Amino acid sequence: MIEIDNTIISLDIFEKQFVCDLSACNGSCCIEGDSGAPLNDDEIDFLEENFNKIKAFMTKKGIAEIEENGLWWIDEQGDKVTTLINNKECAFVVMEGKIAKCAIEIANKNKKIDYLKPISCHLYPIRLTEYKKFTAVNYHSWDICSSAVRYGKHLGTPVFKFLKIPLIRKFGEDWYKQLEIAYDYIQKDK
């Protein structure tokens, strides 16, 4: 593990390779699992304030689920997460052909909102765990992402390089530059 500012970073984000391959997985991470996308309080506030702008891009099922059960719930781990349809699919999922897309991201691309999507989605397969004094930055392995692991190995792309934009979005450019320096140092040491 390495430490940058108030983060503790798993070496897996340097050592594991990963590049999403939507043509292979069809966005399964948005429609599989037993919990929704983790949300922070600012994201919840934003979604509550902008739901009417986002729902123009949602499915009827997603809208109905949110109107009946709310935008978020607390899962078994105690995390605030997006609402699910049938305890499986994120309520914000929209299918474009066979590929699951995010209504929040579509609303952003259509310039209806100025927010891309939950940072937990943008950072996947990195998962963050907030502690009192630091944030743990870890790689999350999930079998439905095996095509992304294969594609990442084929391209030789470490997780942190694939996730450069969301990591900068979350932690800033200076933090990311320090991450690159740490990676270079680790590579020289091998």
Q: Pick the last residue of a domain from 115, 146, 165.
A: 115
Domain residue limits at 6: 1-18+125-190
Domain count, the chain: 2
Whether the full predicted model's pTM is greater than 0.85, yes or no, is yes
pLDDT by position in tens, the chain (length 190): 999 999 999 999 999 999 999 888 999 888 987 789 999 999 999 999 999 999 999 999 999 999 999 999 999 889 999 999 988 899 999 999 999 999 999 999 999 999 999 999 999 999 999 899 999 999 999 898 999 999 999 999 999 999 999 999 999 999 999 999 999 998 887 6
- The pLDDT score that the predictor gives to residue 103 is 97
Neighbours of 165 (CB within 10 A): 12
Contact 16, 159 (CB under 8 A): yes
The span from the CA of 45 to the CA of 42, in Å, is: 5
Asked if residue 26 belongs to a domain, the reply is no
CB crowding 5-34: b at 16 or more within 10 Å, else e: eebbbbebbbebbbbbbeeebbbbbbbebe
The span from the CA of 171 to the CA of 98, in Å, is: 33
Asked if residue 186 belongs to a domain, the reply is yes
- The pLDDT score that the predictor gives to residue 190 is 67
The residues near 70 (Cβ < 8 Å, ≥ 6 apart) are: 83
Asked if residue 102 belongs to a domain, the reply is yes
Q: Pick the last residue of a domain from 115, 149, 181.
A: 115
Asked if residue 24 belongs to a domain, the reply is no
Asked if residue 27 belongs to a domain, the reply is no
For residues 134 and 169, membership in a common domain is answered with yes
Asked if residue 120 belongs to a domain, the reply is no
For residues 138 and 84, membership in a common domain is answered with no
Asked if residue 177 belongs to a domain, the reply is yes
